[in-house]
Chain A
């Protein structure tokens, strides 16, 4: 009687018709430590290899776009915080600039500088968390703790500026909610100075770590053509070799005055996406330092936008015209002309776009939020096929998406 080995050559046996195999369907999520939120991946597996992957999203669909049709423009700002909830200040800025385009409103240089500084700080915060979560997914718990320590320092600065640790609701149509407190920019500069060596320490934990490289290099390769065809934007697109960054290519809010580089990857795998994000954090620090050095004087809101930005409270309480102006803006909303605009900002996750259809007045007729994570996730059915289940975890971590933005 021939001896049966413990692990027979299943392919040979299958070819002989002696070993029945069946594909298994596995549902990963929506409550799963590695799906970064409520994403459900319905996969069909042949052993460990994924043959089909169908993401099911919508578990965090809160109806933001319908809510926007029933809110004035300023009332919608808190909802924009909760889109990409890792970088709320960046979302606030993107939304404000999109709506300001309706009125072709230019905000003063100080407001633009504040927006740039806060958006870059938000970028650092989002990438730190992305790295931390990626680290946990592939088994590196320490990275998470180190990056959260840095994020707590950022939260302290955000809290000083806006009043909230992270859901900041800081921008308004026509400006920002309040001016920077005295000394805040110095504290931001001090944070940047101590952050750079700590960032190197955090990245050193992963960059030449054999386990990390083995798990991410060559995993989840997205070709340049695929990246453009699927609408990828942000670090994912740049890691696939497309040097597209809206801050450089379609500058907004004064980004053209700052010097910074755009990291572009070569292979489009998970390791490249990690490297691109690490380098982006260094460039963000560079931008913040330049913005602080050039920090202009002036107002933090557009003073001449009388029907859009609420006037200062001391004038509201004493002067009739400002009282009426404040009343109209608060009840009816900032008065925008009729028309359509589309604006995309370079958010940490990619290009966050707002398509605003206005019929005039203070309430939009239609607000479509073009979420970068929605488009980034649509490539999953293509990139997961042929990978092992454990690689799927690594791919999800490297794509760094946020379900709040994806589902809106």
Chain B
């Protein structure tokens, strides 16, 4: 039964125990619901990142509480804090070590554009060295804003043509 629906759908009367769906929908659903962050917690935004992981805001609701500091085990790099030129090199190396598919959230003003630090030592935006998917504004952004960014990233992931990429890569 071919359906144009791209959502995961299950109707037990018709399909019994077989779920029919598009590969994209399944793959994207799995990817977006368990986005493990690589917390690149550099400065004050890292404290709000920790607060998002703590019990009041509970990032575990979105499947993202597994904050492993290992690039090979993570999907999304949350750059939380000011990126200096000295730190830019380790950051890029860690991004390179993450395995595909990977995304980047630039959390806060400093990560997005350099923030209020217009000086000789600060990289003016982490998008100069890594491709960024979601920018969060705020200094620091409230945990709700970070969760909103995560939801937007999940929405972006759900729209990706993942199956095609896997087959062609």
A residues neighboring B (CB under 8 Å): 30-33, 37-38, 58-63, 66-67, 78-79, 81-82, 85-86, 129, 144-145, 148-149, 151-152, 155, 165-167, 403-404
> Is the pair B87, A38 in contact by a Cβ cutoff of 8 Å?
yes
> Is the pair A62, B46 in contact by a Cβ cutoff of 8 Å?
no
Give Cα A171–Cα B12 distance, bound, in whole angstroms. 63
Give Cα A167–Cα B81 distance, bound, in whole angstroms. 13
A81 surroundings in chain B (CB, below 8 A): 44
Give Cα A58–Cα B47 distance, bound, in whole angstroms. 19
Identify 6 residue pairs between A and B in the complex whose beta-carbon atoms are under 8 Å apart, listed by A's number: A62-B82, A67-B117, A78-B116, A85-B44, A85-B47, A86-B47
Give Cα A358–Cα B112 distance, bound, in whole angstroms. 34
> Is the pair A144, B47 in contact by a Cβ cutoff of 8 Å?
no
Interface-centre pick from A30, A59, A155, A167 (highest chain B CB count, 10 A): A59
Chain A residue at smallest Cβ distance from B47 = A85
Q: How far is the CB of B149 from chain A (nearest CB, A)?
A: 17
- Contacts A30-B90, A33-B69 hold; do A152 and B56 have CB atoms under 8 A apart? yes
Chain B residue at smallest Cβ distance from A136 = B50
Is B130 on the interface with A (CB-CB < 8 A)? no
Is B165 on the interface with A (CB-CB < 8 A)? no
B121 surroundings in chain A (CB, below 8 A): 61-63
> Is the pair A60, B43 in contact by a Cβ cutoff of 8 Å?
yes
B42 surroundings in chain A (CB, below 8 A): 37-38, 59-60
Give Cα A37–Cα B43 distance, bound, in whole angstroms. 7
Is B140 on the interface with A (CB-CB < 8 A)? yes
Chain A residue at smallest Cβ distance from B38 = A31
> Is the pair B139, A63 in contact by a Cβ cutoff of 8 Å?
no
> Is the pair B87, A30 in contact by a Cβ cutoff of 8 Å?
yes
Give Cα A167–Cα B47 distance, bound, in whole angstroms. 11
> Is the pair A166, B122 in contact by a Cβ cutoff of 8 Å?
no
B86 surroundings in chain A (CB, below 8 A): 58-59, 61
> Is the pair B87, A404 in contact by a Cβ cutoff of 8 Å?
no
Chain B residue at smallest Cβ distance from A33 = B69
> Is the pair B142, A149 in contact by a Cβ cutoff of 8 Å?
no
| Among candidates A61, A149, A166, residue contacting B84 with C-beta atoms closer than 8 Å | A61
> Is the pair A148, B51 in contact by a Cβ cutoff of 8 Å?
yes
Chain B residue at smallest Cβ distance from A404 = B43
B54 surroundings in chain A (CB, below 8 A): 144-145, 148-149, 152
- Apart from the given pairs A59-B84, A59-B86, 20 other A-B contacts in the complex at a CB distance below 8 Å: A31-B40, A31-B90, A37-B42, A37-B43, A60-B81, A60-B82, A62-B82, A62-B84, A62-B121, A63-B120, A63-B121, A66-B120, A81-B44, A144-B50, A144-B54, A148-B51, A149-B56, A165-B140, A166-B140, A167-B139
Q: How far is the CB of A374 from chain B (nearest CB, A)?
A: 16
Q: How far is the CB of A235 from chain B (nearest CB, A)?
A: 19
| Among candidates B44, B50, B69, residue contacting A148 with C-beta atoms closer than 8 Å | B50
Is B163 on the interface with A (CB-CB < 8 A)? no
Render B113-148 as a binary contact track against A, CB cut-off 8 A, 1 for contact: 000110111100000000000000001101000000
A38 surroundings in chain B (CB, below 8 A): 42, 87
Is B168 on the interface with A (CB-CB < 8 A)? no
> Is the pair A167, B44 in contact by a Cβ cutoff of 8 Å?
yes
Is B3 on the interface with A (CB-CB < 8 A)? no
What are the 6 closest A-B residue pairs judged by CB atoms, nearest first?
A63-B119, A148-B54, A85-B44, A59-B87, A33-B69, A62-B117
Is B55 on the interface with A (CB-CB < 8 A)? yes
A403 surroundings in chain B (CB, below 8 A): 43
A66 surroundings in chain B (CB, below 8 A): 119-120
Q: How far is the CB of B55 from chain A (nearest CB, A)?
A: 5
> Is the pair B120, A60 in contact by a Cβ cutoff of 8 Å?
no
Q: How far is the CB of A159 from chain B (nearest CB, A)?
A: 10
Is B66 on the interface with A (CB-CB < 8 A)? no
| Among candidates B48, B91, B119, residue contacting A62 with C-beta atoms closer than 8 Å | B119
- Contacts A38-B87, A144-B54, A167-B139 hold; do A62 and B122 have CB atoms under 8 A apart? yes
A404 surroundings in chain B (CB, below 8 A): 43-44
Q: How far is the CB of A230 from chain B (nearest CB, A)?
A: 24
A30 surroundings in chain B (CB, below 8 A): 87, 90
B119 surroundings in chain A (CB, below 8 A): 62-63, 66-67
B90 surroundings in chain A (CB, below 8 A): 30-31, 59
> Is the pair A151, B51 in contact by a Cβ cutoff of 8 Å?
yes
